[in-house]
Structure 1
Amino acid sequence: MPQFDITFYPSEVFWTLVSFALLFGLLKWLVLPRMAAILDARSRAIAEEINAARQQREEAERLKLDYRKQLDAASQEADRMFEESEARLRKQHRQMMEEWKADMKRREAAFREESEVTRQQAIREIRAEAAGMVVEATEKLIHEHVGKSEAEGFINEALEALEKEPAKPRRH
Protein backbone atom coordinates (compact mmCIF):
# COMPACT_ATOMS: atom_id res chain seq x y z
CA MET A 1 0.00 0.00 0.00
CA PRO A 2 1.58 3.18 -1.14
CA GLN A 3 -0.15 5.43 1.40
CA PHE A 4 1.75 3.89 4.22
CA ASP A 5 5.06 4.07 2.46
CA ILE A 6 7.35 6.66 4.08
CA THR A 7 8.85 7.80 0.83
CA PHE A 8 5.59 9.34 -0.26
CA TYR A 9 5.00 11.29 2.95
CA PRO A 10 6.62 14.56 1.96
CA SER A 11 4.73 14.78 -1.31
CA GLU A 12 1.47 13.73 0.34
CA VAL A 13 1.90 16.32 3.08
CA PHE A 14 2.75 18.97 0.46
CA TRP A 15 -0.30 18.23 -1.69
CA THR A 16 -2.49 17.96 1.36
CA LEU A 17 -1.34 21.42 2.47
CA VAL A 18 -1.81 22.82 -1.05
CA SER A 19 -5.29 21.27 -1.28
CA PHE A 20 -6.14 22.59 2.14
CA ALA A 21 -4.90 26.10 1.27
CA LEU A 22 -6.83 26.12 -2.01
CA LEU A 23 -9.96 24.83 -0.36
CA PHE A 24 -9.52 27.31 2.50
CA GLY A 25 -9.00 30.21 0.06
CA LEU A 26 -11.91 29.12 -2.09
CA LEU A 27 -14.15 28.90 0.97
CA LYS A 28 -12.85 32.15 2.49
CA TRP A 29 -13.07 34.35 -0.62
CA LEU A 30 -15.96 32.81 -2.55
CA VAL A 31 -18.29 30.66 -0.50
CA LEU A 32 -18.15 32.23 2.95
CA PRO A 33 -18.77 35.83 1.75
CA ARG A 34 -21.80 34.66 -0.19
CA MET A 35 -23.06 32.67 2.79
CA ALA A 36 -22.41 35.65 5.07
CA ALA A 37 -24.30 37.92 2.68
CA ILE A 38 -27.19 35.47 2.56
CA LEU A 39 -27.19 35.15 6.36
CA ASP A 40 -26.99 38.93 6.76
CA ALA A 41 -29.87 39.37 4.32
CA ARG A 42 -31.88 36.78 6.21
CA SER A 43 -31.03 38.45 9.52
CA ARG A 44 -32.07 41.83 8.15
CA ALA A 45 -35.28 40.37 6.71
CA ILE A 46 -36.08 38.66 10.01
CA ALA A 47 -35.31 41.86 11.93
CA GLU A 48 -37.52 43.84 9.54
CA GLU A 49 -40.31 41.30 9.90
CA ILE A 50 -39.96 41.45 13.68
CA ASN A 51 -40.08 45.26 13.56
CA ALA A 52 -43.07 45.15 11.20
CA ALA A 53 -44.81 42.66 13.49
CA ARG A 54 -44.06 44.88 16.48
CA GLN A 55 -45.43 47.92 14.65
CA GLN A 56 -48.49 45.97 13.55
CA ARG A 57 -49.04 44.80 17.13
CA GLU A 58 -48.74 48.39 18.37
CA GLU A 59 -51.14 49.53 15.64
CA ALA A 60 -53.51 46.72 16.59
CA GLU A 61 -53.33 47.83 20.23
CA ARG A 62 -54.09 51.42 19.20
CA LEU A 63 -56.99 50.25 17.05
CA LYS A 64 -58.19 48.06 19.90
CA LEU A 65 -58.12 51.05 22.25
CA ASP A 66 -59.89 53.21 19.65
CA TYR A 67 -62.56 50.56 19.13
CA ARG A 68 -62.95 50.13 22.88
CA LYS A 69 -63.39 53.91 23.23
CA GLN A 70 -65.91 53.93 20.38
CA LEU A 71 -67.71 50.95 21.92
CA ASP A 72 -67.82 52.68 25.31
CA ALA A 73 -69.11 55.87 23.67
CA ALA A 74 -71.73 53.88 21.74
CA SER A 75 -72.73 52.08 24.93
CA GLN A 76 -73.10 55.37 26.78
CA GLU A 77 -75.10 56.81 23.88
CA ALA A 78 -77.34 53.73 23.86
CA ASP A 79 -77.85 54.04 27.63
CA ARG A 80 -78.69 57.73 27.25
CA MET A 81 -81.12 57.01 24.41
CA PHE A 82 -82.71 54.19 26.44
CA GLU A 83 -83.15 56.48 29.43
CA GLU A 84 -84.62 59.22 27.22
CA SER A 85 -87.05 56.81 25.57
CA GLU A 86 -88.01 55.37 28.96
CA ALA A 87 -88.65 58.89 30.31
CA ARG A 88 -90.64 59.74 27.17
CA LEU A 89 -92.70 56.56 27.55
CA ARG A 90 -93.36 57.32 31.22
CA LYS A 91 -94.45 60.85 30.28
CA GLN A 92 -96.72 59.52 27.53
CA HIS A 93 -98.14 56.92 29.91
CA ARG A 94 -98.79 59.56 32.58
CA GLN A 95 -100.39 61.86 29.98
CA MET A 96 -102.55 59.03 28.63
CA MET A 97 -103.63 58.12 32.17
CA GLU A 98 -104.54 61.77 32.87
CA GLU A 99 -106.50 61.93 29.62
CA TRP A 100 -108.21 58.65 30.47
CA LYS A 101 -109.11 59.89 33.97
CA ALA A 102 -110.45 63.16 32.54
CA ASP A 103 -112.46 61.21 29.97
CA MET A 104 -113.82 58.92 32.70
CA LYS A 105 -114.81 61.98 34.77
CA ARG A 106 -116.56 63.49 31.74
CA ARG A 107 -118.33 60.22 31.06
CA GLU A 108 -119.29 59.89 34.71
CA ALA A 109 -120.67 63.43 34.74
CA ALA A 110 -122.55 62.78 31.49
CA PHE A 111 -123.86 59.50 32.90
CA ARG A 112 -124.97 61.18 36.12
CA GLU A 113 -126.62 63.99 34.14
CA GLU A 114 -128.31 61.50 31.85
CA SER A 115 -129.39 59.43 34.85
CA GLU A 116 -130.82 62.53 36.52
CA VAL A 117 -132.67 63.49 33.33
CA THR A 118 -134.00 59.94 33.01
CA ARG A 119 -134.95 59.92 36.71
CA GLN A 120 -136.80 63.24 36.39
CA GLN A 121 -138.56 62.00 33.27
CA ALA A 122 -139.52 58.76 35.04
CA ILE A 123 -140.84 60.77 38.01
CA ARG A 124 -142.93 62.95 35.65
CA GLU A 125 -144.28 59.87 33.89
CA ILE A 126 -145.05 58.17 37.21
CA ARG A 127 -146.80 61.29 38.51
CA ALA A 128 -148.81 61.59 35.31
CA GLU A 129 -149.74 57.92 35.45
CA ALA A 130 -150.52 58.15 39.17
CA ALA A 131 -152.68 61.24 38.57
CA GLY A 132 -154.59 59.36 35.91
CA MET A 133 -155.05 56.39 38.22
CA VAL A 134 -156.18 58.66 41.11
CA VAL A 135 -158.70 60.34 38.83
CA GLU A 136 -160.07 57.00 37.69
CA ALA A 137 -160.14 55.59 41.23
CA THR A 138 -161.81 58.71 42.60
CA GLU A 139 -164.40 58.71 39.84
CA LYS A 140 -165.15 55.06 40.48
CA LEU A 141 -165.41 55.59 44.23
CA ILE A 142 -167.44 58.77 44.34
CA HIS A 143 -168.84 58.78 40.87
CA GLU A 144 -167.72 62.34 40.43
CA HIS A 145 -165.39 63.77 37.80
CA VAL A 146 -162.01 65.02 39.19
CA GLY A 147 -159.82 67.23 37.01
CA LYS A 148 -156.24 66.48 36.20
CA SER A 149 -154.94 69.54 38.08
CA GLU A 150 -156.84 68.54 41.22
CA ALA A 151 -155.42 65.00 40.98
CA GLU A 152 -151.88 66.36 40.60
CA GLY A 153 -152.43 68.52 43.67
CA PHE A 154 -153.50 65.46 45.68
CA ILE A 155 -150.44 63.53 44.49
CA ASN A 156 -148.07 66.38 45.32
CA GLU A 157 -149.56 66.66 48.81
CA ALA A 158 -149.15 62.92 49.30
CA LEU A 159 -145.52 62.97 48.06
CA GLU A 160 -144.65 65.89 50.32
CA ALA A 161 -146.15 64.06 53.27
CA LEU A 162 -144.06 61.01 52.41
CA GLU A 163 -140.88 63.07 52.14
CA LYS A 164 -141.47 64.64 55.58
CA GLU A 165 -141.97 61.31 57.35
CA PRO A 166 -138.83 59.37 58.20
CA ALA A 167 -138.36 56.23 56.19
CA LYS A 168 -139.71 53.18 57.98
CA PRO A 169 -138.05 49.85 57.42
CA ARG A 170 -140.19 47.58 55.32
CA ARG A 171 -140.87 44.00 56.20
CA HIS A 172 -141.40 41.62 53.44
Structure 2
Amino acid sequence: MPQFDPSTWVSQIFWLIITFGVLYFLLSKLALPRLASILEERENRVSGDLEKAERLKQEAEEVLADYQKAIADARTSALAALKESADKIAATGAKRQAEFDAQLKEKVQIAEDKISVARTEALSHIKDVATEVASAAAGKLLGADVTEAKVSKAVDEVLGGRG
Protein backbone atom coordinates (compact mmCIF):
# COMPACT_ATOMS: atom_id res chain seq x y z
CA MET A 1 0.00 0.00 0.00
CA PRO A 2 1.52 3.23 -1.14
CA GLN A 3 0.11 5.44 1.60
CA PHE A 4 2.17 3.56 4.17
CA ASP A 5 5.38 4.08 2.26
CA PRO A 6 7.42 6.80 4.12
CA SER A 7 8.99 8.06 0.90
CA THR A 8 5.61 9.37 -0.38
CA TRP A 9 4.57 11.02 2.88
CA VAL A 10 5.85 14.48 2.00
CA SER A 11 3.78 14.68 -1.19
CA GLN A 12 0.77 13.24 0.67
CA ILE A 13 1.08 15.84 3.43
CA PHE A 14 1.49 18.59 0.81
CA TRP A 15 -1.68 17.55 -1.00
CA LEU A 16 -3.46 17.08 2.31
CA ILE A 17 -2.68 20.69 3.31
CA ILE A 18 -3.73 22.07 -0.08
CA THR A 19 -6.92 20.00 -0.16
CA PHE A 20 -7.70 20.93 3.43
CA GLY A 21 -7.05 24.63 2.68
CA VAL A 22 -9.25 24.65 -0.43
CA LEU A 23 -11.95 22.71 1.37
CA TYR A 24 -11.73 25.07 4.36
CA PHE A 25 -11.91 28.11 2.07
CA LEU A 26 -14.94 26.74 0.19
CA LEU A 27 -16.76 25.79 3.38
CA SER A 28 -16.02 29.06 5.18
CA LYS A 29 -16.94 31.30 2.22
CA LEU A 30 -19.79 29.41 0.56
CA ALA A 31 -21.38 26.57 2.50
CA LEU A 32 -21.16 27.80 6.08
CA PRO A 33 -22.63 31.27 5.38
CA ARG A 34 -25.52 29.61 3.56
CA LEU A 35 -26.04 27.21 6.44
CA ALA A 36 -25.81 30.07 8.91
CA SER A 37 -28.41 32.10 6.97
CA ILE A 38 -30.68 29.05 6.69
CA LEU A 39 -30.37 28.38 10.42
CA GLU A 40 -30.97 32.04 11.23
CA GLU A 41 -33.98 32.12 8.92
CA ARG A 42 -35.34 28.95 10.53
CA GLU A 43 -34.76 30.39 13.99
CA ASN A 44 -36.54 33.61 13.01
CA ARG A 45 -39.43 31.64 11.52
CA VAL A 46 -39.72 29.43 14.61
CA SER A 47 -39.60 32.41 16.98
CA GLY A 48 -42.16 34.21 14.80
CA ASP A 49 -44.37 31.14 14.82
CA LEU A 50 -44.02 30.89 18.59
CA GLU A 51 -44.92 34.56 18.99
CA LYS A 52 -47.86 34.11 16.64
CA ALA A 53 -48.96 31.00 18.53
CA GLU A 54 -48.74 32.88 21.85
CA ARG A 55 -50.74 35.78 20.40
CA LEU A 56 -53.36 33.37 19.01
CA LYS A 57 -53.49 31.60 22.37
CA GLN A 58 -54.14 34.92 24.13
CA GLU A 59 -56.81 35.81 21.57
CA ALA A 60 -58.43 32.39 22.03
CA GLU A 61 -58.42 32.88 25.81
CA GLU A 62 -60.01 36.31 25.37
CA VAL A 63 -62.64 34.88 23.03
CA LEU A 64 -63.30 32.05 25.50
CA ALA A 65 -63.66 34.55 28.35
CA ASP A 66 -66.05 36.66 26.23
CA TYR A 67 -68.00 33.53 25.31
CA GLN A 68 -68.28 32.44 28.93
CA LYS A 69 -69.34 35.96 29.93
CA ALA A 70 -71.95 35.97 27.15
CA ILE A 71 -73.27 32.61 28.33
CA ALA A 72 -73.42 33.85 31.92
CA ASP A 73 -75.23 37.01 30.80
CA ALA A 74 -77.64 34.95 28.70
CA ARG A 75 -78.35 32.67 31.67
CA THR A 76 -78.91 35.66 33.91
CA SER A 77 -81.27 37.31 31.46
CA ALA A 78 -83.06 34.01 30.83
CA LEU A 79 -83.53 33.48 34.56
CA ALA A 80 -84.78 37.05 34.94
CA ALA A 81 -87.22 36.58 32.05
CA LEU A 82 -88.33 33.27 33.52
CA LYS A 83 -88.87 34.85 36.93
CA GLU A 84 -90.75 37.75 35.35
CA SER A 85 -92.96 35.33 33.41
CA ALA A 86 -93.56 33.25 36.53
CA ASP A 87 -94.49 36.40 38.47
CA LYS A 88 -96.88 37.48 35.70
CA ILE A 89 -98.45 34.04 35.61
CA ALA A 90 -98.77 34.00 39.40
CA ALA A 91 -100.33 37.49 39.37
CA THR A 92 -102.74 36.50 36.61
CA GLY A 93 -103.59 33.30 38.47
CA ALA A 94 -104.17 35.23 41.70
CA LYS A 95 -106.36 37.75 39.86
CA ARG A 96 -108.39 35.00 38.23
CA GLN A 97 -108.66 33.18 41.54
CA ALA A 98 -109.92 36.36 43.21
CA GLU A 99 -112.44 36.89 40.39
CA PHE A 100 -113.55 33.27 40.65
CA ASP A 101 -113.85 33.57 44.44
CA ALA A 102 -115.93 36.73 44.05
CA GLN A 103 -118.20 35.07 41.46
CA LEU A 104 -118.50 31.98 43.61
CA LYS A 105 -119.28 34.06 46.70
CA GLU A 106 -121.91 35.97 44.73
CA LYS A 107 -123.50 32.75 43.45
CA VAL A 108 -123.41 31.22 46.94
CA GLN A 109 -125.07 34.37 48.32
CA ILE A 110 -127.74 34.24 45.62
CA ALA A 111 -128.34 30.55 46.34
CA GLU A 112 -128.52 31.21 50.09
CA ASP A 113 -130.96 34.06 49.46
CA LYS A 114 -133.13 31.79 47.30
CA ILE A 115 -133.01 29.08 49.97
CA SER A 116 -133.91 31.62 52.66
CA VAL A 117 -136.83 32.92 50.58
CA ALA A 118 -137.98 29.38 49.84
CA ARG A 119 -137.69 28.46 53.52
CA THR A 120 -139.59 31.54 54.63
CA GLU A 121 -142.25 30.85 52.03
CA ALA A 122 -142.43 27.20 53.03
CA LEU A 123 -142.71 28.13 56.70
CA SER A 124 -145.40 30.68 55.94
CA HIS A 125 -147.43 28.11 54.01
CA ILE A 126 -146.84 25.32 56.48
CA LYS A 127 -149.39 26.81 58.90
CA ASP A 128 -152.03 26.98 56.19
CA VAL A 129 -151.28 23.44 55.01
CA ALA A 130 -151.20 22.12 58.56
CA THR A 131 -154.51 23.84 59.33
CA GLU A 132 -156.16 22.35 56.23
CA VAL A 133 -154.77 18.87 56.88
CA ALA A 134 -155.74 18.97 60.57
CA SER A 135 -159.23 20.24 59.72
CA ALA A 136 -159.72 17.50 57.12
CA ALA A 137 -158.33 14.81 59.42
CA ALA A 138 -160.43 15.93 62.36
CA GLY A 139 -163.51 16.07 60.16
CA LYS A 140 -162.98 12.51 58.97
CA LEU A 141 -162.05 11.15 62.38
CA LEU A 142 -164.72 12.93 64.35
CA GLY A 143 -167.30 13.01 61.64
CA ALA A 144 -168.13 16.57 62.47
CA ASP A 145 -167.03 19.91 61.12
CA VAL A 146 -164.40 21.54 63.25
CA THR A 147 -164.17 25.29 63.14
CA GLU A 148 -161.18 26.77 61.47
CA ALA A 149 -160.45 29.00 64.47
CA LYS A 150 -160.07 25.99 66.79
CA VAL A 151 -157.84 24.14 64.29
CA SER A 152 -155.70 27.27 63.77
CA LYS A 153 -155.29 27.67 67.51
CA ALA A 154 -154.25 24.01 67.91
CA VAL A 155 -151.75 24.30 65.01
CA ASP A 156 -150.27 27.46 66.56
CA GLU A 157 -149.76 25.63 69.82
CA VAL A 158 -148.06 22.68 68.09
CA LEU A 159 -145.85 24.86 65.90
CA GLY A 160 -145.00 27.05 68.87
CA GLY A 161 -145.75 30.26 67.10
CA ARG A 162 -143.27 29.68 64.24
CA GLY A 163 -145.63 30.65 61.50
* TM-score, structure 1 as length reference: 0.76
Give the C-alpha shift of residue 160 in structure 1.
Answer: 8.9
Which runs of no fewer than 5 residues in structure 1 stay unpaired?
165-172
Higher relative contact order (CA 8 A, sep 6+): 2
In structure 2, what residue type is equivalent to 1:143? Answer: A
Matching residue within 152, 155, 163 for 1:154? 152
Distance 2:28 2:100 in 1: 103
Q: 1:68 to 1:155 in 2, by over 3 A?
A: farther
Conserved 8 A contact 2:131-2:155: no
Conserved 8 A contact 1:127-1:155: no
Identity of aligned residues (%): 28
Conserved 8 A contact 1:139-1:145: yes
In structure 2, what residue type is equivalent to 1:106? Answer: E
Distance 2:62 2:42 in 1: 30
124-133 or 87-96, which moves further after superposition? Answer: 124-133
125-134 or 48-57, which moves further after superposition? Answer: 125-134
Conserved 8 A contact 2:127-2:155: no
In structure 1, what residue type is equivalent to 2:75? Answer: S
Equivalenced residues, count: 161
* TM-score, structure 2 as length reference: 0.80
How big is each residue's C-alpha offset from its partner over 1:99-124, in whole Å with a ceiling of 9 and x where there is no partner?
Answer: 23212311221221121233234335
Distance 1:5 1:162 in 2: 166
